[in-house]
Amino acid sequence: MQTLQIPPQLQQAYLDSSRYPENLPPGSTDTYSSDLQIYKTLLDKAQPDLFIDFEPDIHIEVSFRELHNAAGNELEKLNAHDAVKARSFLGIQTGPDPSDPARSVVIARRRDPGPRFIYIKGQHSRAPLNITRQLMCEIFSYHQVMPVYLDFIFVFGAQSEPRDRRFSGFRQHSFLSDPPRGLVIPDLGRSGRLYQLCYNLKTVTLKSEDPKDISLSEWSIQPAAIHHQFDIVYGTTLWIVTKGGDDLLERYKSLTGKEGRPENKAFNTLQDSFRSSLAPHLLFCHWSTMNWRWHILWLESVVQKETSMAVLGLRGSGRAQYSYTLRHLQTVQGREDQINEAIMVLEANVDVMQSLCKFYEGLRTKKEIPQTLKDGCDADIATFIAQTNDMISNLKLQIVRANLLVKITKDRKELITQLLQSQATERMEELNLNMEGEAIIMRTITVVTLVYLPATFVSTFFSTDIVKYQDQAGGPPTNGVYSEVAMYRWLQVTLPLTVLTFIGAFWALKMAEKKRSGRDGRSQKRERRQIGRSVTDLNPGTILPHANSVASVV
């Protein structure tokens, strides 16, 4: 097997791949060194959730597909389940330097093929990627992948809830003339004159369906991160796609398989290679437009089902009325959030597609692009832009539809809020009527009590031994006998009990007020401590890296 020469800069970058992206040769990227350090730090933090390095059973699964490689094979593929097979497929070997055994060297056994497609996946969008960090960094270092691609990978990894779903962008980096010395590797089919693109797109899929109750169906927004390189001299092409699941891999297989169109898998000339490199872009863009119509239709149906009674339900005395609760308002607010998220994703996809069209439109006027390539592929670029614009128009129509649904949902939410207030008013009126009736009853009882109170007191008083009308010997009643001692004893007992009752009531009132003031004081102290802790723990945040390349970020 032939041995291909690799420049020392690339060898050193590969040997130091664990430090990616800090290991990239100077001049191979326009990302500042301080930003490379930040990317390295972010990758260190994301490693436990992003990769399977810490899984109890490491199971690597990375797919490789090559068309028209140097061995003359029309198609060569591999589903690598360990790092050794992946390195062997790429033709990378490391060993001691014959002249200095203490020093390691990197040897390439294979030239870069026409297109090389690398698919990194997880079980789903919120699962770790089925690759180790070391293997990914080796692949990225060997192919000199632009560091900003890490921004698009960070959305993946183990997570209970989707994170960073609102991130979207398009980045490009070009060396169309005067490439850095470390990038020129003719033996590998690398002239150093290339452009790199990375972007992400999102689609929506039906996760679970409930035929009995559509509101219980679940939809999932799935991201895909795409990296692309094209050498404008040799026509070698690289694709790296990161996604949860196999669907994009299967679509790419259909595009370049036996049933695919010949022009999408022809790499005999530079023009053929460029023409074929446009087809995967269209494939990914078309994937991002799927199912949005049905997702928005589902949202329309759910909103109609959950809010129709607010519009159609009859209100008024003597009518059967639908009673709303705060839960209904929360549900409608959740639907509005879902619609706004769909609009955000659709607009992000539109911006990415427009940036993609703008980039290829700009290639037609760049003087560094070989004239033969511009002349032979000008019509293909025009066709590519036209097809992409058709998909953009389709997405914009869905955005208009979703914006109208947001307005309807807000109006329905406001109507439900007013109905809740109306229900509260009706309950208050009913309560007031009940209280009014109870007040009349209490007033009647009070009047009756006042009428009988003097007679009750007199009857109670004369039932004591203070005044007696009965004869003790059993004779007829007398004119009454007054007992001064009984009167004195009655006053001795009644007056102290009355005073003790007032003292006990006053003491209970004071204790209740003291407990209430104590609770208020503790609550205020706790709030002050929480405010102080929040100020102490305030973190100014992490400075995010940026690239000084021409970019369109959503």
Q: At 481, is the pLDDT very low, low, confident or very high (cuts 50, 70, 90)?
A: confident
Whether residues 170 and 242 share a domain: the answer is yes
124-147 b/e (C-beta count within 10 Å ≥ 16 → b): ebbbbbbbbbebbbbbbbbbbbbb
**Gap between the Cα atoms of 446 and 459, Å rounded:** 19
Give the CATH number of the domain where residue 104 resides.
3.30.460.20
Domain membership flag for residue 137: yes
Whether residues 83 and 151 share a domain: the answer is yes
pLDDT for 129-184, tens place per residue?
999 999 999 999 999 999 999 999 999 999 888 888 889 999 999 998 888 777 88
pLDDT at residue number 334: 93
The strands making up 218-231's β-sheet, listed across from edge to edge, are 75-80, 62-67, 115-122, 237-244, 218-231, 194-208, 169-175, 551-553
What DSSP assignment string belongs to 508-531? HHHHHHHHHHHHHHHHHHHHHHHH
Q: At 90, is the pLDDT very low, low, confident or very high (cuts 50, 70, 90)?
A: very high
**Gap between the Cα atoms of 350 and 7, Å rounded:** 41
Whether residues 303 and 254 share a domain: the answer is no
**Gap between the Cα atoms of 421 and 432, Å rounded:** 16
Whether residues 336 and 193 share a domain: the answer is no
DSSP strand E in 400-493: where?
467-468, 481-482
pLDDT for 450-468, tens place per residue?
888 887 877 777 777 777 7
Domain membership flag for residue 153: yes
Integer angstrom CA distances of residue 403 from 11, 258, 339, 417: 53, 42, 8, 21
Domain membership flag for residue 522: no
Last residue of a domain, one of 445, 465, 493: 445
Residue bearing the bigger pLDDT, 553 or 312: 312
Long-range contacts, 477-484 (Cβ 8 Å, 24+): none
Range of the domain at 437: 291-314+321-445
φ/ψ region of 322 (left if φ > 0, alpha if ψ in -120 to 50, else beta) reads beta
> Stretch 439-455: mean pLDDT, rounded?
86
Whether residues 121 and 231 share a domain: the answer is yes
Last residue of a domain, one of 209, 239, 269: 269
Whether residues 156 and 62 share a domain: the answer is yes
Whether residues 250 and 385 share a domain: the answer is no
Whether residues 140 and 205 share a domain: the answer is yes
**Gap between the Cα atoms of 128 and 405, Å rounded:** 35
This prediction's pTM: 0.79
Whether residues 360 and 245 share a domain: the answer is no
**Gap between the Cα atoms of 440 and 188, Å rounded:** 100
User: Which range in 16-25, 92-101, 385-394 is most confidently predicted, on average pLDDT?
Assistant: 385-394
Domain membership flag for residue 64: yes
Domain membership flag for residue 466: no
pLDDT for 493-548, tens place per residue?
888 888 888 899 899 989 988 888 888 777 777 777 766 665 555 444 444 454 44
Domain membership flag for residue 100: yes
Whether residues 344 and 247 share a domain: the answer is no
Domain membership flag for residue 347: yes
Whether residues 127 and 44 share a domain: the answer is yes
Q: Any idea of the CA torsion for 179, 182, 188, 193, to the nearest 10 degrees? A: -10
DSSP code of residue 210? -
Domain count, the chain: 2
**Gap between the Cα atoms of 323 and 123, Å rounded:** 44
Length reported for the chain: 554
Domain membership flag for residue 281: no
Whether residues 169 and 66 share a domain: the answer is yes
Choose among 30, 367, 6: nearest CA to 179: 30
Last residue of a domain, one of 445, 468, 491: 445
pLDDT at residue number 494: 83
